[in-house]
Amino acid sequence: MERRRFINFFLGGSFLATLAAFLYPVIKYVLPPKQAEALQKKVAAGKVGELAPNSAKIFKFGATPGILVNTQEGQLLAFSAVCTHLTCTVSFEASTGTLYCPCHNGRFDMTGNVVSGPPPRPIEAYAVEVVGEDIFVSRKA
Amino acid sequence: MPKTIFSIALLAALAFVPPGAAAQTNSCLECHKGLEAELQAPAANFAQDVHQQAGLTCADCHGGNPALADEDKAKDKTFKGAPKRAQIPELCASCHGDAAYMRKFNPRLRVDQLSQYQTSQHGKLLKKGDVKVAVCTDCHGVHGIQTAKFPKSPTFPWNVPQTCGRCHADADYMKAYGIPTDQAAQYKESVHAEALFEKKDMSAPVCNSCHGNHGAFPPEVKSIGSVCRQCHPSTGDLFAKSPHKKAFDDLGQSECEACHGNHRIVRPTTAMLGTDDKAVCVQCHDKGSKGYQAAAELKTLIDGFEVQIEKERATLDLAEKKGVETSDAAFKLQDVNTVLVSAKNLVHGLAVDEIRTKLAEGDQTLNDVEKAGAAALDEARFRRKGLIIATALLALFGIALFLKIRSMHKPA
Amino acid sequence: MKALGRNLFAYLDERFKLQGLFAFAEHKKVPEHEYSFWYYFGGIALFLSGIQVATGIMLLLYYTPSIDAAHESIQFIMSQVKFGWLIRSVHSWTANILIGILFVHMFSTFFLKAYRKPRELTWITGFFLLVLFMAFGFSGYLLPWNELSFFATRVGTDIAGALPLVGTWLKGVILGGTTVSQATLSRFFWFHVALLPLAAFTLIAIHVLLVQILGMSVPIKLKDKKLKEISFFPDFIYKDALGWTLILVLIGVICVFLPWEVGKKADPFAATPLGIKPEWYFTFMFTTLKLVPSHVLFVEGEVLAILAFLVGGIFWMLAPFLDRKAARGERSPAATWIGIILLLYIVVMTVLTYTVPKL
């Protein structure tokens, strides 16, 4: 093949190949990823009726654990489950109706305030919203 | 006439002199301010004193009449001068032990400090005539006393080791008593000191948390466990249910202290478990005994789990270094770490099956982390491969351009 | 194959009247001489801007401009979206490279006196483009809503607020309130994806049009020489493309080995991290403000420095009119020296920021 034609083919061909190599990631990027969205403001923490009165469950709230409590009176409350002392995970103590941290005996009441023990700050309370069958938890405004 | 007017004017002027102006002259302070060194110190520091802020003056403790400027006249019959060390507790208690009096200032303050003090080692020795022991002013200061809520106060949590250490860490001073003087130094190496001084956790225990303050006395062997339980109740409960409890009680051994020490309580590691030289178990359990076997089993279980966690952490760190985002997996690893902490706590209960079950809870998550870590490393490899391909194609294109440019410069 | 191409061209030419355009393109010539290497930087800047628009549009697909979701969406792009790490890292790295290239482009045109008549408007539009791109950098930096970006924005807007008379008002307009908040994020997002691109596109169009119409400026000392020329299209374009290819390789390598970090989510109640500073292209001004004494006579040092920058900028922008010698086509060593001093000042102040952090 004549030199000039070879160079033109080489130029065109390598350009198209490079273009394809650039279009591949673009197309993969645009196609929806497995996890549909980024971190939700609102998290589905459970279903109505799942929790008996005076019991609780841990759920995932973004990158940290949260705790959903169904009080004795049937009120649904949600809190961060991260103890404000040294970040251990708290649990619900049905006998006292408090959030209890087993690491150093920290205790929080149902408003999130510290009742006793070393935690220096109240535990964060979340907003609970019931939509049909689902219980949604979100950060308070 | 002018004289009358003048007198009336003078009287009127005096009437407008603020009341209590006469009472404000504190000749003690005025005089002492002008003195030097030790004699000046009381006047210099008194302004910050909580007693001064409550409206008390020098006379309330020392007697005398601060309204009079003349030194001899001021030091009247009521003047007590500087109290002797042995008299100090009773002097302070003359107000601080009087509930009706203290109610006027701060109803919440306790009024039993003197009776507590009398049960303490300091109080007992003072009664026998030893004035080297601590009295109120040694810990609270004098003339510049502030509450324990003020960071500069010698009774503020992070100052307490130094306050107690002033005597207890002084080998010469303590020579006659025959007790160790390394407690403060040992405490400083502990995990409690780390929490207090480095993490600024004011709830971390200091000397008075375990020894009491006014009633300071080393806890009896039998009660050490109860003292630790104040902050570590679940561990205490587990221990109480374990076979160790009866064994320790029979031997008259202190509970927590036997394995964890008292002042130099360091972060417990799995090195404490097991059957090698560094382990605490072999202090009592000989080779071949049931305890020895249990120790070996516990060590294998917990160590194995911990080693796996470290392995996964290393994988995730490597992936991060290679540029791959791994925070989701790292979060799961946090969960697994919580399981490990629970399992280590359960060791105090010695129920091997319970520990096995607890660790199994973490196994599933650990598997997930392993998969995520492997995927992350794969991603890192994929990226590098992709880069090589893209660079190769770009290089080809670049060469093609170069050839084209060169061909255009040559004449046709 | 060739016939198809010719038919297509004829079809489009009938409708778009392409012949005139092609004739113009073929006639445009670019001189080649010892300084013509510097001609490439404008094109590189244009190419990098194109990359920014493309990657920016891609990021828009997954980014959310809300303080509750911004950081999380970046985290999502970096970890869940296929090649999200690449698109985002390219966008962040190219932003920095682009601003560096703009400074090179600006100083090379200055030293070659390309601002002289008849290219005064090219210089002025270019000056405003630099300001716009630094605004792009400043507004874009906040969007990930991480610790560094939050505090850098706070520090930067505090400086704007220090201006006499208009300071407080200006700061309020920039922030959308009194502090860095959701209003600020929404506003910066609007600046970054709508207002600034519109303004930049307009100015770039004018700037490039002027370059095409007026051709490349030749340095004064060569103006009487007979110089070799190559045609702009396709020769110069191919050379441009070679440069762009090399830059793409560079960007690719950087992004694979040094992906841009996600950082810690901004916490408005946290203490300002120690050693907080703005992005490198602002550091020469930032360090100047740190070094200036607190009071000069009766004026606050900071205010004086900010005004000095403003006035200095205006003088710099008016270079085509102030440099009478260059306008006449004569060598202008005074302007060259001013340029050298300014360049040294910027370089020294920037380096100082990183080598002596405890200023």
pLDDT tens digits for range B95-138: 999 999 999 998 999 999 999 999 999 999 999 999 899 999 99
Does residue B230 carry a pLDDT above 90?
A: no
Is B397's CB within 8 Å of A102's CB?
no
Q: Which residues pair with A43 in a beta bridge?
A: A137
Contacts of A126 (CB under 8 A, 6+ apart): A61, A66, A78, A79, A80, A137, A138, A139, A140
Is C68's CB within 8 Å of A29's CB?
no
Task: State how far the Cα of B64 lies from the Cα of B79, in Å rounded to an integer.
Answer: 4
The CATH number, out of the four listed (3.40.50, 3.40.720, 1.20.140, 3.30.160), of the domain defined by the range B290-409: 1.20.140
Question: Are A119 and A54 members of one domain?
Answer: yes
Tell me which residue of B144, B191, B167, B150 sits closest to B44, measured CA to CA: B144
Is B393's CB within 8 Å of A4's CB?
no
Banded model confidence at residue B20, pLDDT cuts 50, 70, 90:
very low
Helices of type H across A3-127: 3-30
Neighbours of chain B (3+ CB pairs under 8 A): A, C
User: For residue B77, with 0-12 CB atoms within 10 Å meaning exposed, 13-18 middle and 19 or more buried, which class applies?
Assistant: exposed
Q: How far is C200 from chain A (nearest CA, A)?
A: 25
Is A34's CB within 8 Å of C61's CB?
no
Question: Are A93 and A129 members of one domain?
Answer: yes
Strands A98-101 and A106-108: antiparallel
Each domain of chain C, given as residue ranges in start order, spans: 36-355
Question: In one letter, which amino acid is C327?
Answer: A
**What values do phi and psi take at C357, rounded to 5?**
-65, -25
**What values do phi and psi take at C290, rounded to 5?**
-70, -35
**What values do phi and psi take at A87, rounded to 5?**
60, 25
Does residue B21 carry a pLDDT above 70?
A: no
Residue with tokens 């703005």: C278
> In the predicted model, what is the mean pLDDT of residues A112-138?
91
Model confidence over C17-56: pLDDT tens digits? 888 888 877 788 899 898 989 999 999 999 999 999 999 9
The whole-number pLDDT of residue B22 equals: 44
Residues 313-352 of B with CB under 8 A from C: 323-328
Q: Which residue of A has its CA nearest to B345?
A: A103
The residue range of the domain holding A3 is 1-35
The whole-number pLDDT of residue B203 equals: 86
Q: Can you tell me whether residue A31 is helix, strand or coil?
A: coil
- CATH label of the domain that carries residue A89: 2.102.10.10
Q: How far is CA C193 from the centre of its chain?
A: 15
Q: Which residues pair with A65 in a beta bridge?
A: A60
Task: State how far the Cα of C139 lies from the Cα of C149, in Å rounded to an integer.
Answer: 10
Read off the tokens for B196. 């207090």
DSSP C61-95: TT---STTTHHHHHHHHHHTSTTHHHHHHHHHHHH
Question: In one letter, which amino acid is B107?
Answer: P
- Averaged pLDDT score across all residues of chain A: 88
Please give the helix or strand (H or E) that residue A43 lies within, else none: strand A42-47
Question: Are A13 and A80 members of one domain?
Answer: no
Q: How far is A132 from chain B (nearest CA, A)?
A: 30
Task: State how far the Cα of B331 lies from the Cα of A60, in Å rounded to an integer.
Answer: 11
Neighbours of chain A (3+ CB pairs under 8 A): B, C
Is B401's CB within 8 Å of C238's CB?
yes
Question: In one letter, which amino acid is C348?
Answer: V
Q: Which residue of B has its CA nearest to C253?
A: B387
Task: For residue C262, list chain B residues with Cβ-Cβ distance below 8 A.
Answer: 325, 327
> In the predicted model, what is the mean pLDDT of residues C86-90?
97
Question: Are A31 and A61 members of one domain?
Answer: no
Task: State how far the Cα of B17 lies from the Cα of C180, in Å rounded to an integer.
Answer: 54
Does residue B68 carry a pLDDT above 90?
A: no
Q: How far is CA C153 from the centre of its chain?
A: 18
Banded model confidence at residue B60, pLDDT cuts 50, 70, 90:
confident
DSSP A63-85: TEEEEEEE-TTS-EEEEE-B-TT
Tell me which residue of C213, C40, C207, C211 sits closest to C132, measured CA to CA: C207
> In the predicted model, what is the mean pLDDT of residues B22-40?
77
Does residue B412 carry a pLDDT above 70?
A: no
Does residue A89 carry a pLDDT above 50?
A: yes
Contact B237, B228 (CB under 8 A): no
Distances (CA, A) of B202 to B268, C86, C135: 21, 45, 45
The CATH number, out of the four listed (3.40.50.11030, 3.40.50.2300, 1.20.810.10, 3.30.565.10), of the domain defined by the range C36-355: 1.20.810.10
The whole-number pLDDT of residue B225 equals: 83
Read off the tokens for C31. 């001189």
Task: For residue C242, list chain B residues with Cβ-Cβ distance below 8 A.
Answer: 398, 401-402, 405
Task: State how far the Cα of B187 lies from the Cα of C46, in Å rounded to an integer.
Answer: 65
- Split into its structural domains, chain A has a count of 2
The whole-number pLDDT of residue B19 equals: 47
Regarding pTM above 0.95, the answer is no
Contact A1, C58 (CB under 8 A): no
User: For residue B124, with 0-12 CB atoms within 10 Å meaning exposed, 13-18 middle and 19 or more buried, which class applies?
Assistant: middle
> How many Cβ atoms are within 10 Å of B8's Cβ, its own excluded?
10
Task: State how far the Cα of C98 lies from the Cα of C102, in Å rounded to an integer.
Answer: 6
Question: Are A31 and A93 members of one domain?
Answer: no
Residues in chain A: 141
Question: Are A64 and A95 members of one domain?
Answer: yes
- Averaged pLDDT score across all residues of chain B: 87
Q: Can you tell me whether residue B37 is helix, strand or coil?
A: helix
> In the predicted model, what is the mean pLDDT of residues B373-399?
95
ipTM over 0.90: no
